[in-house]
Amino acid sequence: MKRYSKLLDRNKSALLIIDVQERILGVMNNKEFFLENIIKLIKGIKVLDVPIFLTEQYPKGLGETIHEIKSELENTAIQKMSFSCFGAENLFQELINKNISQVILCGIESHVCVMQTALDLIENGFQVNLAADAVTSRKISDYQIAIERMRANGVEITSTESILFELLNVCGTEEFKSVSKIVK
């Protein structure tokens, strides 16, 4: 018997946090729920020792990544001017070099930077898993349309908790106990 081939595998996955910056977060829809889920995702991914990448869109204008996220991470943000992370230095090549084929996306805004990145990742042969509860836009309609478009183009639409338990694969481990505390 075989398992579903698109289930996340921590040995070939990475988390990409897109543009959660000071000057844009304040105008986002449902920002508290969004932020709570992104923090859970980061903490759980760290427990599972999955690589994390972080981008900032034009930080001179939009500010740096918010403190709540920066304080959870050790890595420096990759700065970009393009909406898609395809234009973020050599990020896509780095993913390939690290044998990452599954990219978990979260961040801002669903219908611009997140969606363009998702579509470019798909075009370049990556499997994309979107944490739908850890992305947001200013308008609900933009968020909904972006989710529909990404789904129609092959993005796996899922949730923070689903992603973490998929990466865990089994219960009864110390990692399971740690992740369970994070998602509660």
Where in the sequence numbering do the catalytic residues fall?
19, 80, 113
Q: Which of 118, 128, 116 is nearest to 158 (CA)?
A: 128
CB 121 within 8 Å of CB 128: yes
Q: Which residue's entry shows tokens 């899922």?
A: 158
Q: Which pair of tokens denotes residue 101?
A: 């084929």
Residues 6+ positions from 144 with CB-CB distance below 8 Å? none
Q: Which of 80, 141, 140, 90 is nearest to 116 (CA)?
A: 80
Cα radius of gyration rounded to whole Å, the chain: 15
CB 124 within 8 Å of CB 89: no
Q: Which pair of tokens denotes residue 119?
A: 């579509």
| 15, 34, 81, 119 from 38: Cα distances, Å | 11, 6, 23, 21
